Amino acid sequence: MATPQSCETMNILGQYLDDHEGRAAREEDADNRWMQERAGIDPEERLRRWDAWLRKTLAKTLRWPANADAALRLQCQCANELTRLVKQLRGRGWLLDGEALAGHVKACIAPIAEQQRAGKVGDFWPYFCAAVRRYVGANAEEIQFHARRTGADEGAQSMAAIMGALGIAGALKSKGKSLTELIADRQPAPKRPAKKPPCTPDAPRLPGL
């Protein structure tokens, strides 16, 4: 027979699980929305959510150093390296958006994770960079087909924009910039100026100065 104390503990645990599941569901809904929509969402908010999604995906997919600081630094380096992949897509005119772009990031890092689990990755960083940098070229045909089929091809979008400007029926409405464009066009954060050494007014002056 359950005691009042055990019942209270079960109720607290049940409430915690319900709250956790509800929060996870809300976060998933938010992720799905920014992944699937362009219009009506602030571009900066889309970038912030992309950054958070990317860090979370890297953290749970790949293996990292045991030291938390070292792991975080390496995850940041990997996130920056994946921006190269996005810029390669942008350079080829494939303007994949949210979910489609995320799918290619997952497809790029999944084989790396598999090789890590098999113990076949010795020096992680150069292995990771090489895998990321060859992904677009190695999968170009498939990516191009996907982009054209989903209307994420720059040529098709340019034609749709021209048709829309001319008022031609059936033209696609502009949805704003794709996530590929937002990431590739984002300006890097300005570097902090190096601190000047403190002045020493009491130091002796050299002759001629």
DSSP code at position 186 = P
Calpha distance 167→111 (Å, rounded): 46
pLDDT of residue 166: 47
pLDDT of residue 209: 37
Calpha distance 13→128 (Å, rounded): 41
pLDDT of residue 144: 92
pTM above 0.85, yes or no: no
Look over the chain and give the mean of its residue pLDDT values, rounded to a whole number: 77
Residues of the chain scoring pLDDT < 50? 158-166, 168-173, 199-209
Calpha distance 102→100 (Å, rounded): 5
pLDDT of residue 89: 95
Q: What is the dihedral of CA 163, 167, 171, 175, to 10 degrees?
A: 90
pLDDT of residue 47: 92
pLDDT of residue 10: 56
pLDDT of residue 122: 92
